[in-house]
Amino acid sequence: MLLDKNLIKHFSDYLRLEQSLSDNTIEAYCHDAELLMEHLAESGHSLSVGDISHEDLENFFAELYDIGISASSQARILSGIKSLYKYFIQEKICDADPTQLVSFPTMGRHIPEVLSYEEIVSMIDCIDLSDRFGHRNKAIIEVMYGCGLRVSEVISLNISEIYAKDEFIKVFGKGSKERLIPIGKKTLNELMLYIQGERLHQEINPKFSDKVFISARGTSLTRQSVFLLVKSLAEKAGIKKTISPHTLRHSFATHLLEGGADLRAVQQMLGHSSITTTEIYTHVSDDYLRQTIMQYHPRWHSQNTSTN
């Protein structure tokens, strides 16, 4: 069964008649269901309820985080999605509840997981370039880390939006907001190596002829395929951190700020409407600086040693 407006209407009736919830709560929960439906549709995911996995939900909440939705608001939205799946199970619309594997966000300001430059290089080194999609996969990681793109921006990137001569790419972020992002020579080279090599040998659905990253079916990639790629490479590289495609975006921003980049410039490159969202990375950088001092400064090191 598809997650559509009709199913959400039935969910609304269930909340009103069987759960006796207030009108405000019903409206909020149905809005949460619509947000999930829109997220899945934008990612090109099947809207079949039975196909939605906990990874899909994790991606959904990662996207909410990325656009600045607070932890408390995320927790409330998760409550709505949990109620939705309670309804699905009761009505035998699906057998499994993927929300059971999704944790409520920690209240307070969450510091995103960040990879070191060495960890990112180790992930890239794990890519088998002899694989039929090796160069495509390498270009995906290079572009996500090199340009700080969201997953949705990666899979929707068009060839016509690559300005190789000027070393810029054009992306359309949340709300179809357009922005230009500088692309480094190394990242650009990897991107063009894929476009002018592997991609030329693929059979591509004409509808997706301008899309950069093409799936085995000749269509645009999905969020899920990028998510699985990142997780697989992290495992191969022996990285124990809990990461997702967003981790590469977080790492992009953090490494820029650690290198002395201006916060406003990082905000513009990330496409954040509010600088408050971007400021989370200054906290990551502060933590990085603290760890660096503790590790290398002789007075800090001696203090830590003496207390052990």
Can 288 be counted among the known catalytic residues?
no
**pTM flag (> 0.85):** no
Can 174 be counted among the known catalytic residues?
yes
Q: Which fold has domain 5-101?
A: DNA polymerase; domain 1 (1.10.150)
- Residue 305 pLDDT more than 50? no
Which is the catalytic residue, given 14, 65, 87, 281?
281
Can 117 be counted among the known catalytic residues?
no
Q: Using one digit for the tens of pLDDT, what is the confidence trace for 186-220?
A: 999 999 999 999 999 999 999 999 999 999 999 99
- Residue 143 pLDDT more than 80? yes
C-alpha atoms less than 13 angstroms from C-alpha of 121 in its C-beta half-sphere: 4
Q: Copy the structure tokens of residue 307.
A: 């207390």
Can 138 be counted among the known catalytic residues?
no
User: Who has greater pLDDT, 208 or 150?
Assistant: 208
Distances (CA, A) of 261 to 49, 187, 282, 284: 43, 19, 11, 14
Which is the catalytic residue, given 135, 246, 250, 255?
246
CATH ID of 117-292, from 3.90.1150.10, 1.25.40.10, 1.10.260.40, 1.10.443.10:
1.10.443.10
Can 249 be counted among the known catalytic residues?
yes
Fold agreement (5-101, 117-292): no
pLDDT-derived band of residue 40, with 50, 70 and 90 as boundaries?
A: confident
Can 281 be counted among the known catalytic residues?
yes
- What whole-number distance in Å separates Cα of residue 290 and Cα of residue 53? 38
Which is the catalytic residue, given 150, 211, 223, 255?
150
Which is the catalytic residue, given 39, 199, 223, 249?
249
What are the backbone angles phi and psi of residue 247, rounded to the nearest 5°? -60, -35
What are the structural domain ranges in the chain?
5-101, 117-292
Which is the catalytic residue, given 82, 174, 231, 283?
174
Which is the catalytic residue, given 199, 211, 223, 272?
272
Residue 290's pLDDT is: 58
